Amino acid sequence: MSGDITTSRDADQTRQNILEVALKEFSEYGLTGARVDRIAKGTRTTKGMIYYHFGDKDGLYKAVLEEIYPKLRKSEEKLDKSNLSPIEELEKIIDFTFEYHKNNENFVRMVMIENINNGETLRKTDVDTGVSQNILMELSSILIRGQKEKVFNRNISPIDLHLLYTSFCFYRVSNHHTVSTVLGMNMLSSSNSIRHKRLVKDVIIAYLLSSEP
């Protein structure tokens, strides 16, 4: 019967609606600061439904967390990287990473919050090393091509390369409040963003091009 289908479609919509509101709430207030009541009010449904679908507050938090990494990776994989040189491909990836963090502060904040939470929930999650295999393999391939072509002269692991640019892209967004205050600037101003986007690529490329000492 279509009854069940319709019902489950509704249920899915309800779940999605709750998840969206919960992402906003958790990323704004943190795990302990988030309020189930506030989430419920923000949705089209009621508190009871949250408990029905997600068990408890931690279950909801877990569900929110489970969604954000695959979402990032899926966007990443949509990039068209055909016919690019290693440098061009790497720049494209860094550009994407830069923009994604800049445009998804919610994602950045959720990751911070989960680290404050000592990563306990993420570890209980289906999100495993699998989600990052693609990007690591791609970085690996870029590095190999660059080394083969004698463009890259450094020996660096894909993971370290990934950390190098991600840390900068992440930090700019995650720490913009304190950095802006302490350094007396607006870290996310348009001019800073433009310059930083160029900078992170230049630094990494300069490193890869440079010779081992």
Partner DNA sequence: GATGAATGAGGCTTCATTCAT
Partner DNA sequence: GATGAATGAAGCCTCATTCAT
Q: What is the contact surface with a second copy in residues (CB under 8 A)?
A: 29-33, 69, 109, 111-119, 122-123, 127-129, 131-132, 136, 156, 159-160, 162-164, 166-168, 170-172, 174-185, 195-196, 199, 202-204, 206-207, 209-210, 213
Structure tokens at 88: 């061009």
141 exposed, middle or buried (CB, 10 Å; 0-12, 13-18, 19+)?
middle
Q: Which of a second copy, DNA, none binds 190 (CB below 5-8 Å, type-dependent)?
A: none
Which CB, 16 or 203, lies closer to a second copy? 203
Which CB, 55 or 119, lies closer to DNA? 55
When binding is defined by CB under 7 A, the residue of 16, 52, 124, 167 that contacts DNA is 52
Angle between helices 86-103 and 190-209 (to 10 degrees): 150
What residue type is assigned to position 59 of the chain?
Answer: G
Look-up of token digits 């408990």: 51
Does 45 help bind DNA (rule: CB under 7 A)?
A: yes
When binding is defined by CB under 7 A, the residue of 27, 57, 91, 108 that contacts DNA is 57
Does 3 help bind DNA (rule: CB under 7 A)?
A: yes
Other beta carbons within 10 angstroms of residue 10's beta carbon come to 10
What residue type is assigned to position 128 of the chain?
Answer: D
Least separation in angstroms between CB 193 and a second copy: 12
Burial 90-120 (b: 16+ CB within 10 A, else e): bbebbbbbbebbbebeebbbbbbbbeebeee
- Enumerate binding residues for DNA (CB under 7 A): 1-3, 6-8, 10-11, 13-14, 34-37, 45-49, 51-53, 55-58
